[in-house]
Structure 1
Amino acid sequence: AQADAHYNTVVHQIAPGDSVVMFSDGLYRATNKIDDEYGLKRLFDSAHSLAGESLIDIFDGLEGDALAFSRDGKFSDDVCIVGFRLNKLMS
C-alpha cells in the first residue's frame, strides 16, 4: 500500500446467514470487444442474482459472468475473489 493512499471505509451490519464477498479490481475492469468495461454495476447485478447461493457458486458465477463479457474469455488483470458466510454470532 502506498503511504499517501486513501481507502474508503464502509460499515455494514451483518447477520447470521449473510455472506460477504470481496474482490480485486481486475474482476470489474474486464473489457469486451468494443472496449466497454464490465464495471461495478454489472458486477453488483450479478452478485444480487446469486444471493443465497453457496460461496463457491457465487465465486464461480461472478467470475463466469465477467469472463463471458470479456473480449476473449480471459482477464487482462489479476483477479482475486474471497468471502465468508456468517453462521452464528458469538455471545
Structure 2
Amino acid sequence: MEEYSVLDIFSYVPKQKIDLEQLETIFVNEINNVNAATNGYYVEKYKQIHGLEKNIKIAVEDLQNEGKKIAFIKKGRKIIAVVGYKVA
C-alpha cells in the first residue's frame, strides 16, 4: 500500500462543519480504501479540469504549477475540498 503525504488542502466548507485535520484524515483513509465513503465522504483522484467551478479550477491550477498530485474530497457529488499531495 502506498503512503501519501498531504501538502495542501483547499476547503470549501466552514471549519465548524469539518476542519482541516478531519479532511486530512478522510483523505488518508479514503485514498487507501480503508473506509469506503466514511460518513458520505469519499476521495476522487483528479483527472481533468473541465466542468469545475472557477475557484476549484484555480486551486487545481496552482497545485499543478507546484507539481503536486491532486485529489478531491467529495460529499455526494459536491467537491468540499481540493487536496495537494505526494506519494511517499
Q: TM-score if structure 2 supplies the norm length?
A: 0.37
Q: Which has the larger radius of gyration?
A: 1
Q: Determine which structure has the larger strand proportion and give its number.
A: 2
Q: TM-score if structure 1 supplies the norm length?
A: 0.36
